[in-house]
Amino acid sequence: MPKVLILHTGGTLGMRGEPLQPDAFSTALTEAVPEILGLAELEVRIVFNLDSSDIGPAHWAKLAAEIDAARDEFDGFVIVHGTDTMAYTACALSYALLNLDRPVILTGAQRPLASLRTDARRNLVDAVEVATRDLDEVAICFDGLLLRGVHATKSNVHDYRAFESPGMAPLARLGVDVSIRETEAVSVGGYVCRPEFESSVLVVHVVPGMRPQLFSRLLDDSTDLRGLVLGAYGLGTVPAAGPDVPQMVRRAVDKGIDVLVVTQSAGKIDLSQYENSRALKEAGAISGGEMTMEAAVTKMMHALANFPDRRNRRAYLLSNIVGERGGGSSDKV
């Protein structure tokens, strides 16, 4: 029987009370959902027990280290995680555990395991099932969908279908059968564990009428800001007449801050298409391709921690490490 390690990090699945908060989580998860014992030989570890809004770079590093240390002992890993930042953790682990040759499957629930009509039971069973398969992916398994972690995003707070992967078809739809589709390998080479992240990163979401001088003031005062992720419109356009965002970007780049551009919509940006996007490129911004905000923020943090040389960091940000820049099929979920 395959061996699967379940790492509990918290989230609604194990919560109780009003308001919901992390409960003393029982390692006897297998008593609550005994079905999973029929799928794999299981070990459950509580790594932490948090609302996922409290999970960040230090926790990603701890999870990566835990999986790295146990990787020869287990055929697959399941991470029980809150939905709010599950996509960030999935992205972070995709970068931190490059070319891991087994599945890391994140799951959670919209309703606690202890409540009626919970989705926790199904999600857990599905995640353990997928973790026994021959799959080299960090993925999110939720409401019958298996999504590449680095493409997934939380898209709904009320539906059981909490996640989607815009622009990329699911790796599997878990129905009567579970068949995982083949995807072309993005990264080749040996396994590398790089669990460090540097969190001196800010996100600026471009809006009509924004005043870039507010950010300029922050630039003047801040000595430790190192990365900026810019959420631009459409294919990568920003206001450039009057409120001059490209000028703000140039100031940031000149101060040694890396600027990575993603779109607020779904799809691949193209900074050469419009005058209002080309100006960003000329100012020294880096195109994020098809990256989601989650993929871009975690990649920037990973790049800053692992590539001290600016040219190498830029090359890392521009290369397609685990499929985050695109390359999946464009079917809609």
CB of 106 or CB of 300, closer to ligand ASP: 106
The token duo for 286 is 């880096």
Q: What are phi and psi of 94, to 5 degrees?
A: -60, -40
Does 83 sit near ligand ASP (CB under 6 A)? yes
Window of 28-36, 82-90, 135-143, 275-283 that interacts with ligand ASP by CB under 6 A? 82-90
Does 112 sit near ligand ASP (CB under 6 A)? no
CB of 51 or CB of 68, closer to ligand ASP: 51
- The single residue listed with the structure tokens 């607020």 is 264
Tell me the C-alpha distance between 24 and 19, whole Å: 15
Distance of closest approach, residue 59 Cβ to ligand ASP, in angstroms: 12
Asked about 12 being catalytic, the answer comes back as yes
Q: Which helix (H) or strand (E) holds 260?
A: strand 258-263
* Binders of ligand ASP in range 29-58 (CB under 6 A): 51-53
Alpha helix positions (H), the chain: 29-32, 57-70, 86-96, 120-131, 212-221, 245-254, 275-282, 293-306, 310-318
Does 103 sit near ligand ASP (CB under 6 A)? no
> Which of 9, 12, 153, 292 is the catalytic position?
12
CB of 51 or CB of 198, closer to ligand ASP: 51
Identify the CA nearest to 171 among candidates 202, 205, 127: 127
Fill in the DSSP letter of residue 289.
T
Does 198 sit near ligand ASP (CB under 6 A)? no
Does 11 sit near ligand ASP (CB under 6 A)? yes
Tell me the C-alpha distance between 7 and 229, whole Å: 30
Tell me the C-alpha distance between 129 and 109, whole Å: 16
The greatest distance separating any two alpha carbons of the chain, rounded to the nearest whole angstrom, comes to 65
Distance of closest approach, residue 18 Cβ to ligand ASP, in angstroms: 14
Distance of closest approach, residue 21 Cβ to ligand ASP, in angstroms: 9
Window of 9-17, 94-102, 124-132, 171-179 that interacts with ligand ASP by CB under 6 A? 9-17
- The single residue listed with the structure tokens 């099929």 is 329
Window of 27-35, 78-86, 163-171, 248-256 that interacts with ligand ASP by CB under 6 A? 78-86
Q: Which residues bind ligand ASP (CB under 6 A)?
A: 10-12, 51-53, 82-84, 108, 110
* Residues labelled catalytic: 12
